[in-house]
Chains A and B, each alone.
Chain A
Amino acid sequence: MFKEFFLSPFHYEFMRNALLSCFCLSLGCGPVGVFLILRRMSLMGDALSHAILPGAAIGYMIAGLSLPALSLGGFIAGLLVALLAGLVSRTTLLKEDASFAGFFLIALALGVFIISMGKSSIDLMNILFGSALAVNHQTLLLMGTITTFTLSTLAIIYRALVAECFDPQFFGRVHGHGTFYHILFLMLVVLNLVSGFQSMGTLLSLGMMMLPATAAQFWTRKIWPMGAIAVLIGLVSGYSGLLVSYHMNYPTGPSIVLIAGLIYIFSLLFGAKGSIRHYITNRVKQS
């Protein structure tokens, strides 16, 4: 019974592939999401996930449903928006969030425009929401590569990234090149969103980046463990989301992200650090 429920779905190759793709996504997205929050850029992730769309659409127009074309297009579009927004905020009076908003909305409309000009609206659904059960070996290889690259890059630039994020002025004075790390990090964000492209789609893969990372905030106040907890939450969500979607015949991507959402709400209510439970106990103590 136990084995039947928890393990037997993974006799099928498409389920194993889907599980592996979730694991890749959790490992890369968790720590990236934590740093997005630390840099107070949670909503930039949202902006970037939309910004990917026109690039992917153009890739689709040129090469059809070919993963390398979609990913490359998405990567270029996302990075372009990130760089343009960064440039505008550094040279004009607009702050980074506002300039991001401007560019990602243009990119989103452009993306929808291009896709609608093309074929049926099923294509749009595919690009926006992906399909975790259609992940093949080629996709897995790309995702594994991106995850490996993400984790090793984060390990190498960890100290600089933390220092630059905590006190940019100090970092600029003793080290310089704060911009270099900022752009490298934005590149990692875009790469991981592209990585989730096939399995979760552009919009849902953001859920795998932000929900585990925000939930992790409520369990520790140390950066390293925060990343590890985010990864763990991602893994649990991926596995249980697949199980639920298999047994109940629910849509896969949304099931995974909804479970991550449930874990987030649980953490928000009962977490060990600064959760609603703390707020209430403090209020009771005071009165």
Chain B
Amino acid sequence: MESHSKKILVDHLTVTYGKTVALEDISGAIEPNSLIAIFGPNGGGKSTFVKVLASLIKPTKGSITHHCQSTCQPAYLPQQSTMHRSFPITVREVVAMGLWHTVGAFKSLTKTHQSLIDQALERVGLQDYDSRLIETLSGGQFQRMLFARVILEDSSLIILDEPFTAIDIHTSQTLLALIQEWHQKGKTILVVLHDLEMARKYFPETILLSKHCLGWGPTSKVLTDKNIMNSYHAEKIDRKRNHV
């Protein structure tokens, strides 16, 4: 009964930007403790979908209902480009922002908080980098830092938008292990992906988006060659239609 109450229901969701339709009539349910890959061609509405789930944009039509007992503020990791990379701030300070829900704008960090930050840094392998400025980090280290911040947010719903783009295999493995750990702890995780192999290997469920929902369920049934062909085909037809 309790697990049922954490379900997320997506009901006839449509999102448009001006005249451009990003997503049309998407419906489905996200069960608690699921690990879902979100897959599809560029411009297929993947980022829009996760932004709506993270309540960053409002649906044009339809609705998303989070059934939570208390607060269910999701942790959301956007694509890197939205952040101010040369900002004079240390790795530790960025990671500490993950504690905002308990510390806020005014309270000071206690010893418990400091050790939580240390643990998060160690978990992503950045323990020796805590006083480094973020402008000195490589792309992979930057992403590890953001994952450490997600650890501290300690949310039951985690949404990651293309976390593995431009990142080496070693870092990807560390971050994937972390995602699996979250999954074992009972969290719900949605990840926007471009890597077909990774989706098939590590993600039990997949949502295939190309403006419409072309598949929602077990990865082996959704990510068939036929469905993937269809998704790219649908995208092409759609592009042509927009041109005419």
Contacts and interface: CB of A to CB of B under 8 A. Distances in A.
B78 interface: yes
B105 A166 contact: no
A222 B88 contact: yes
Interface in A125-174: 156-157, 159-160, 162-163, 165-167, 169-170, 172-174
B9 to A, nearest CB: 21
Contact of A165 (B78, B84, B97, B101): B84
Contact of A173 (B54, B84, B133, B135): B54
A167 B73 contact: no
A162 B36 CA distance: 34
A167 B97 contact: yes
A90 interface: no
Contact of B105 (A38, A175, A223, A226): A175
* Secondary structure class of chain A's binding surface, majority of residues: helix
Given A163-B100, A169-B82, A173-B56, A157 B105 contact: yes
A159 B89 contact: no
B17 interface: no
Interface string A215-228: 00000011100100
Contact of A166 (B76, B94, B104): B94
Contact of B88 (A172, A174, A221): A221
Contact of A163 (B78, B97, B133): B97
Contact of A175 (B76, B78, B100): B100
A146 B153 CA distance: 38
B88 A38 contact: yes
A277 B93 CA distance: 29
A116 B159 CA distance: 59
A223 B78 CA distance: 25
Interface in B37-86: 54, 56, 73, 76, 78, 82-84
Given A157-B105, A160-B105, A175-B105, A169 B88 contact: no
B105 A174 contact: no
A30 B82 CA distance: 28
A272 to B, nearest CB: 13
Interface string B145-158: 00000000100000
B201 to A, nearest CB: 30
Given A160-B105, A174-B101, A166 B56 contact: no
Interface in A208-245: 221-223, 226
A161 to B, nearest CB: 9
B89 A162 contact: yes
A78 B134 CA distance: 35
Nearest to A157: B105
Residue in B82, B100, B104 whose Cβ sees the most chain A Cβ within 10 Å: B100
B76 A165 contact: no
Nearest to A163: B97
A41 to B, nearest CB: 12
B116 to A, nearest CB: 16
Contacts of A38: 87-88
B56 A169 contact: yes
A156 B105 CA distance: 9
B77 to A, nearest CB: 9
A226 B88 contact: yes
Interface string B115-144: 000000000000000000101000000000
B73 A223 contact: no
A225 B220 CA distance: 55
Contacts of B101: 174
Contacts of B105: 157, 159-160, 163, 175
Residue picked from B87, B88, B94, B133, most chain A C-beta under 10 Å? B88
B117 to A, nearest CB: 15
A162 to B, nearest CB: 7
B159 to A, nearest CB: 11
A119 to B, nearest CB: 47
A166 B97 CA distance: 11
A174 B77 CA distance: 12
Interface in B177-203: none
Contacts of A156: 106
A170 B93 CA distance: 14
13 contacts: A156-B106, A157-B105, A160-B105, A162-B89, A163-B105, A166-B87, A167-B84, A167-B97, A174-B97, A174-B100, A221-B88, A223-B88, A226-B88
Interface of B: 54, 56, 73, 76, 78, 82-84, 87-89, 93-94, 97, 100-101, 104-106, 133, 135, 153
Given A156-B106, A162-B93, A163-B105, 5 more contacts: A159-B106, A162-B89, A169-B82, A172-B56, A222-B88
Closest 5 interchain pairs by CB?
A174-B100, A160-B105, A221-B88, A166-B87, A159-B105
